[in-house]
Amino acid sequence: MATDSALKVIFEHEGVFIHPNTEEEGTEPDLLVSGSLRILEKDAEVLVDFRPLEDPVDPSNMLCAGQDSSSVVEWAQCPKEKHQSHQLLETQQSYETEWDMLNAVSFRKRSSARGEGLLNHSLERSRWAFSVSVSDLRSITVKDEGWTFVILQQKEPSTSLPALHFHQGGSREFLDNLRRFALLTESPEDETCLEVSTPNRALSQSFENLLDDNSFGLIHKFRRDPYVATFGGLSKVTNYIYDALRGAEEQQQQRPPEEVADLLGEVIPGLEINQQEEPGFEVITRIDLGMRPQVTRREPLSADRWSKHLDMEGRVQDVDQLKHEVFKGGLCHAVRKELWKFLLGYFPWSSTSEERRCLQRVKIDEYFRMKLQWKSVSEEQERRNSRLRDFRSLIEKDVDRTDRTNWFYEGLNNPGLTLLHDILMTYCMYDFDLGYVQGMSDLLSPILYVMENEVDAFWCFVSFMDQMHQNFEEQMQGMKTQLIQLSTLLRLLDLTFWNYLESQESGYLYFCFRWLLIRFKRELSFQDVLRLWEVMWTGLPCQNFHLLICCSILDSEKQKIMEENFGFNEILKHINELSMKLNIEEILQKAEGLFHQIRSCKDLPHSISSILGLDTGHQRSDPTNAGAVAASQRAHLQNICSNGLGRENGSQNSGRPAFKS
């Protein structure tokens, strides 16, 4: 094979393991072969390539976790060893022993000498390395044993390939990248098996043919599970939906808009596109917005700067100024754990440190009472509760594939995954009407990562879900409204670009569906998601600022889309491939500039003012309203501290200072 320098690396992921058969001659028990899995492109051929690393892996040297029956404990040297480490990242004292399950998570690697007798690494490299053309693959089997492992089956079964074990995550990214070059369809006989079609076959297999077989048709999957299909299937949409809209017609001949709307309604259930103008929305013609002002970003808010916003009793001073600083620069990671609780509304801005401690004790109690509800359901009870059973099944499936490449969630029996599972199950008890919908784990994951605390993460997640609730409701009213509003904004900002998208049957901006559904979680790196969310949680500079962020991204991509004359298919593919390539600071800078440009417009349409809250003075503080909210929150806190703790925890709290009004 040619040297690596002659190849284009499409995908690369280290930490993929082969479990050699211990019955093979010369193979030691418990040996794992760690390697790098790549997808390579050379000329017209795409290859799946596995190369072992220099040293095989001794499983005794891997991370492992101790775990009790209710939650998780700190990672120790192995599950059977006595828990010895006492250095938690931030320990919160529990005031009731029956709730003393878990409040924080900590990780540490064990140090142990490498076992003797490992096979010579140079022999192992030649023994386990393989490279296979994607066109030679017949199927890919994806299974779960607490981690995901993948079995590649060739069309000519002369040589069997070893199973690839993704102990540290990455299987989803591998399959997503593979879908760029091959059609992977679920086998009608085996749901764990994905049949591989070559590109030529995939292109010739029309969308209408897929519709004929509801066992694995794309539309059927969207109807059955729109969220998973949206997350993992955008590349599939890229491959098929263009032909679905065009059918047997010439590509230059467009379907009527009504027919396109019907097809999109099929793809995204509940997303009915009204061909008439929405009530209350003007027809926007070209408006001169003037020059877009240049704006600058600042450094993240430091711990020292944050401490200066607190008075002697821990109250936050000058909330408006603080929010402005967060909006302009975000937060350094050291203060996120505390400040996110304020931004999300878990902590009232006017509360003292003591009042917040009172609130947390009550919330700990409330959380574990809800957690006990599902923990105490017997198997027999669950057999008669199909909704709870379905919620649990979806949660377990999603948790296993959420951010597994992040250190907080990677590896075997990771306590972070157990926390993720428990919080989502408890949320089902908190809001049983909604329960769990796929995609919610994406919203919880960054919050748990920052909080490192089960109870705090839950209540912050509850506050975030209060904002996002409509996105996950069955009728998807929130998604429909946001797509209409986004289209309205884009028409104002760039009518030429909007008309171009409309001419390519992309005017409904459905390719932004995933952006809106989980707030860019799959488009940005994990750290950039933290920065974006905390900026948006300030509520500045206007309502629906996330729609201007969408416009900012599209503004950066419009030149390429229009100059290269991208059609429907190419637009979908291009937007999908922006994932992990976006610069968050540039996006925020441009989005803020768009806001100032819109606000300075003298003849702003009422629909735009309504979307951004400009007609209600949203961008300005309302001292009267803020005072009323603060008074209400203070009364609530006083009730909690005087009634809740005085009744339930008087003995433990006798040494604490009395509540000050």
Reported confidence tier of residue 205, pLDDT bands at 50, 70, 90:
very low
DSSP H helices, 431-453, are 440-451
The arithmetic mean of pLDDT across residues 329-351, rounded, is 96
Q: Is CATH 3.90.1640.10 the classification given to domain 477-615? A: no
pLDDT at residue 640, rounded to an integer: 61
Reported confidence tier of residue 641, pLDDT bands at 50, 70, 90:
low
Reported confidence tier of residue 565, pLDDT bands at 50, 70, 90:
very high
pLDDT at residue 121, rounded to an integer: 47
CA dist 213 and 233 (Å) reads: 17
The arithmetic mean of pLDDT across residues 151-174, rounded, is 83
Bridge partners of residue 52, in order along the sequence: 35
Provide the 3-class DSSP secondary structure of residue 569.
helix
The arithmetic mean of pLDDT across residues 566-591, rounded, is 92
CA dist 246 and 265 (Å) reads: 16
Task: Determine which of 206-215, 225-234, 639-648 has the lowest per-residue pLDDT on average.
Answer: 206-215
CA dist 643 and 358 (Å) reads: 11
The arithmetic mean of pLDDT across residues 123-152, rounded, is 82
pLDDT at residue 633, rounded to an integer: 61
Reported confidence tier of residue 144, pLDDT bands at 50, 70, 90:
confident
Q: Is the peptide bond before 541 cis (omega within 30 degrees of 0)?
A: yes
Task: Check residues 142 and 167 and name the one with the higher pLDDT.
Answer: 142
Non-local CB neighbours of 210 within 8 Å, separated by 6+ positions: 216, 217, 218, 219, 240
The arithmetic mean of pLDDT across residues 587-604, rounded, is 93
Non-local CB neighbours of 456 within 8 Å, separated by 6+ positions: 337, 341, 346, 360
Does the pLDDT value for residue 201 go beyond 50?
no
Bridge partners of residue 14, in order along the sequence: 36
Does the pLDDT value for residue 74 go beyond 50?
no
CA dist 557 and 536 (Å) reads: 22
The arithmetic mean of pLDDT across residues 157-177, rounded, is 83
Reported confidence tier of residue 533, pLDDT bands at 50, 70, 90:
very high
The CA R_g of the chain, rounded to the nearest whole Å, is 27
- The segment with the largest mean pLDDT, out of 159-163, 168-172, 480-484, is 480-484
What kind of fold does domain 352-467 have according to CATH?
A: Helicase, Ruva Protein; domain 3 (1.10.8)
Q: Are 350 and 630 in contact (CB under 8 A)?
A: yes
Q: Is 12 left (phi over 0), alpha (psi -120 to 50) or beta?
A: beta
- Give 535-565 as a DSSP string: HHTTT-SSTTHHHHHHHHHHHHHHHHHHHTT
Residue of 543, 570, 536, 537 whose CA lies nearest to 485: 543
Phi, psi angle pair for 5, to nearest 5°: -65, -20
Task: Check residues 595 and 93 and name the one with the higher pLDDT.
Answer: 595
Q: What is the pLDDT of residues 416-470, one digit of tens each?
A: 999 999 999 999 999 999 999 989 999 999 999 999 999 999 999 999 999 999 9
pLDDT at residue 239, rounded to an integer: 41
Task: Check residues 239 and 310 and name the one with the higher pLDDT.
Answer: 310
pLDDT at residue 507, rounded to an integer: 85
Q: Do domains 8-22+30-54+123-197 and 352-467 have the same CATH topology?
A: no
pLDDT at residue 33, rounded to an integer: 82
CA dist 326 and 537 (Å) reads: 9
Mean pLDDT over each residue of the chain, to the nearest integer: 75
Phi, psi angle pair for 274, to nearest 5°: -85, 120
Percent of the chain predicted with pLDDT > 90? 44
Reported confidence tier of residue 562, pLDDT bands at 50, 70, 90:
very high
- The segment with the largest mean pLDDT, out of 107-116, 597-606, 651-660, is 597-606
How many alpha carbons fall within 13 Å on the CB side of residue 342?
26
Reported confidence tier of residue 268, pLDDT bands at 50, 70, 90:
very low
Provide the 3-class DSSP secondary structure of residue 261.
helix
Q: What is the pLDDT of residues 617-638, one digit of tens each?
A: 554 444 334 445 555 666 666 6
Non-local CB neighbours of 130 within 8 Å, separated by 6+ positions: 49, 50, 161, 162
The structural domains of the chain, with segments of one domain joined by +, span 8-22+30-54+123-197, 200-214+256-269, 352-467, 477-615
639: burial class by Cβ within 10 Å (0-12, 13-18, 19+)? exposed
pLDDT at residue 657, rounded to an integer: 34
- Give 51-114 as a DSSP string: EE-SS-B-GGGS----B-SSSB----S-TTSPP-----SS----S-GGGTT-S---------PP
Instruction: Write out the two tokens for 505.
Output: 């049957």
CA 637, 641, 644, 649 dihedral sign is positive
Q: What is the pLDDT of residues 366-415, one digit of tens each?
A: 999 999 999 999 999 999 999 999 999 999 999 999 999 999 998 888 89
Q: What interhelical angle do 526-536 and 333-343 show, nearest 10?
A: 40
8-22+30-54+123-197: CATH class: mainly beta
CA dist 590 and 584 (Å) reads: 10
Residue of 464, 440, 449 whose CA lies nearest to 419: 449
Instruction: Write out the two tokens for 38.
Output: 């790549």
Residue of 306, 646, 643, 610 whose CA lies nearest to 485: 610
β-sheet with 183-186: strand ranges across: 130-133, 45-52, 33-42, 8-18, 164-166, 148-154, 137-144, 193-197, 183-186
pLDDT at residue 651, rounded to an integer: 33
Q: Are 38 and 11 in contact (CB under 8 A)?
A: yes
Instruction: Write out the two tokens for 479.
Output: 């998604």
Reported confidence tier of residue 312, pLDDT bands at 50, 70, 90:
very high
